[in-house]
Every structure is written in C-alpha cells, then in structure tokens.
Structure 1
C-alpha cells in the first residue's frame, strides 16, 4: 500500500497530541497576524489538526497533502468543527496551482521525506514562489543528532481493540538518513485482523546545507531555533526550526 494509506487510519491515535499545542505556540510567536495578512498554506497537513488550530487562531488556511486518505480525515474534522478550511491534494514539489500566501508552514519533519537535497531545494523554491513579499516560511526538520544517535534502534508498539502496530526505525545508508518500518494489524468488518506493511524513509542535512538551499531559493534571511523553543540548537537538540523570510 502507498505511504500513509494505512497510517492515516491510525495516525491520530498514535500521534502525540501535545505536539500540536507546541507547533501552534511556536507559530503564533513567529507569524505576524494582522487583518491584511492572514492567508496561510500548511504543507503536509495530514489529518488537519494543525490546520484547524491555525483557523481557530484567525488565519485563512489552505492545507495541502499528498495522501488522499489523510485529507478525507481532515475534511471530516473540519466539517465537524464547522470550520471554513480548504484542503487540496498535491505534492509540495509543485505549488504552481495554489495562488499566493502570506505564510507557509511545513511541520512534523515532512521536509525530511524529500529524496535528496535537490528536492529539498525544489520545495524551498516552490514555497518562495507562492509567498507574498515579506512572507514567512516556517518548517521543522530532524536534527542530525536525531537521525544519527536518537532514532536508530527506536521501537514503538501500540495495541488497541481494533488495531495493533509495530514501528521500528533503523539507520539508512545515506548520511543522516533513517528508515521507519511499520506493520499494522487492522480489524476487518468480520472481526479478523489483516496485516499491512509500510516503509517510510527520512533524511536530514546539516544546518549549512539548509542555509545554502534557502539562499539559493531566494530567501533573504532566516532564524534558527530548536525543540519548539526560541533558543539556538544544542549538540543534542532533536528538532530544528527554521523561520525564513522572503
């Protein structure tokens, strides 16, 4: 099955919900919200929880995701909340049909799913094109410490009444890359369980590489933070945050 097809069915159950509070708080500290500037594009919006948080904070939100299954969940969530959100299926490597936005975000290390640094640079260029002048782009990625030291050997198991999941992570061959192997056991309508397997590959780069790629895309400046806080990265920081300005 395609990446995230089965993951979408259990994603919200296994996701640490407190992370959405952290992403929201970080965003609100770094995204100026005015009546004139409020159009926000959320890349890799997934099941729409973060999109809804942005809408509740007063932004006009469009969510983009590659997974149709994820977007089905997002649309149901927005309808239940009676929120005016727009969701589009698409690839962040091509944003040419999406119009202009004041702000773009890309969280949950989604940039790390790009195959190589050329694709990361292509995403940055696409974001630059859809941003209005003085627009802000915020994204997070795994630190090299996370991919090299923290994640290899990681194992997570989840058991519920209607599904079970085994999640193991290993170091991959390319520098600063990891492989997540996911096995799901989903209960069918007749009560039996069916096994599904997915493989998710992620890769990050050193800070200088991201710096160069942002500059090549046209961004005139960026600020760097770590682990949801307004502080510089440390040697053992797990997640880097970039706040780039067009």
Structure 2
C-alpha cells in the first residue's frame, strides 16, 4: 500500500469515534461466519483489525489471535477494550515475519480499502505467504452494487457524543468507472450546540468488484482452492446485485 493510499483511507480520531459509536460490535451473522473457521490451538491473524469488534470476541472465546492495523487511533481504541491484546501497528506488506497462521480473515469488506489493484495483489501475496500448510484465508469485498453519486454533501451519519455534543459525517459520492473506485470524500464535524469544536477530513475510497474479478486475482496470486459466497450462511451464487462477495481461499 503506497503512502497516498494510506492518507486516503486513514482512520483518524473523529472517524474512529464515530466508527465505534456506529459499529462497535460485529454483526452477529458475520461474526458467527468467521468464528466457524476457528478451532482451538489455531494461530489466527486479523489484518486491518481496526478497533477490534471481531478480534475481541475471538479473544473472549479463548482463541490465539493477533491483529494488524495501520491506524494508531483504532488500535488505541482496541487496547481500551482489551488491554494486552496482541496487535501490531504496521502495513500488512511490510510487517515483520510473524507467521505462519492457521487462519487469516479480513471481515467487513476491508480489503476493498486497497483501491489500487497492484497494492491489493501485494497484500494478498503477503498474506498467502503467512498461511500455514492446511490453513485458510477468508475475506469479503464490496461490490458494484454499492455505486452511488451525489455532488452535494449528504449527511451519512450523526451521533450523540454526550454532554451536548454531536458528531456528523457529510460526504459526496462519485464513481471512477475505469478504476472501479467509489470516491467518497467526507467531513467529520464535532459540535457543541452551534459551535464547531473540531473537524477532520477523510478522502475515503473503496474498490468495488464485479463477479469474477477477485477470482482472477486470487488465481494469479497462486491460491489453489477458492470458494465464493454471497451470504454469511455460505449459500447463494455471487452476482453484481449482492452487497459483498465472500471468499474462502486455501494456498
């Protein structure tokens, strides 16, 4: 992941606070899906672990899990939830050799944050090299079903932060058809009454996939077995009308 991309999708302090308010706990069906691949004694890795909404439940169930993330703000929030959790502040492609792992997973479409296809390939290749013999890599990506347009800022979320303060996210939307990247620059504003206390911008971008695209990339990387799902109950044929594609990959 290059430095420009780090800036685009870096989760700063206000973004982290809003994320925690809105997405502090993992969706139950998605959590159960990823837990279904875990077994006692496995070494488990969650790259892009964020504030730990998946990692912490894995820990609470006694699994040996390590998280990697590039956002210090997110890892600080994880540390508040689970002091002593095994985490690493690093770029996935440049982190120390900490493998092998029996099970690696990236939930919530987070792999789509790598908007450059070559950067995505580097990440996938690095993770494949970390998988132990007989291990599995499971992840999801967002699809072209998420395309949207809005030249005028729209309010994506507003949360009550307590003590008379509110945090609002406003974004515009455009889609780069050539790169298949959804462009969603956002502005976070923390206000008390009518007074602006703090603001933060984020040049948010995500790569949206069509059916077959990720399968070709995984084949190029060298995965020998790939299964694709359209839902967390492991049923349904992936189509461009799905919200996400889910992949189960073995080296």
Q: Structure 1: which 5+ runs fail to align?
A: none
Partner of 2:247: 242
Could you tell me whether the CA contact under 8 Å between 1:96 and 1:130 is conserved in 2? no
- Give secondary structure in 1 for the equivalent of 2:67: strand
- Give secondary structure in 2 for the equivalent of 1:222: strand
Residue 204 of structure 2 corresponds to residue 204 of structure 1: no
**CA deviation map 1:208-235 (0-9, x unaligned):** 2211221222211111111323122244
1:206 deviation in Å? 2.7
Residue 43 of structure 2 corresponds to residue 33 of structure 1: no
Partner of 1:143: 143
Alpha-carbon separation, structure 2, partners of 1:119 and 1:14: 29
1:181 paired residue among 161, 181, 185 = 185
**CA deviation map 1:95-126 (0-9, x unaligned):** 44322111111122221111321111111110
Change (3 A) 1:26 1:156: same
1:194 deviation in Å? 1.9
1:144 deviation in Å? 2.0
**CA deviation map 1:73-113 (0-9, x unaligned):** 1111102xxxx620110112234432211111112222111
Partner of 2:122: 122
After the TM superposition, which residues 29-108 of structure 1 pair with which residues of structure 2 at under 5 Å, given as runs? Answer: 29=36, 31-35=37-41, 38-79=42-83, 85-108=85-108
**Of Structure 1 and Structure 2, which has the larger fraction of its residues in strand?**
2
Alpha-carbon separation, structure 1, partners of 2:24 and 2:67: 20
TM-score of the aligned structures, taking structure 1 as reference length: 0.85
Change (3 A) 1:165 1:227: farther
1:156 deviation in Å? 1.4
Residue 22 of structure 2 corresponds to residue 14 of structure 1: yes
2:149 paired residue among 141, 149, 152 = 152
Could you tell me whether the CA contact under 8 Å between 1:101 and 1:132 is conserved in 2? yes
Alpha-carbon separation, structure 2, partners of 1:235 and 1:67: 31
State how many pairs are aligned: 233
Change (3 A) 1:138 1:42: same
Alpha-carbon separation, structure 2, partners of 1:178 and 1:141: 13
The alignment yields a C-alpha RMSD, in angstroms, of 2.3
Q: Structure 2: which 5+ runs fail to align?
A: 1-5
- Give secondary structure in 2 for the equivalent of 1:163: strand
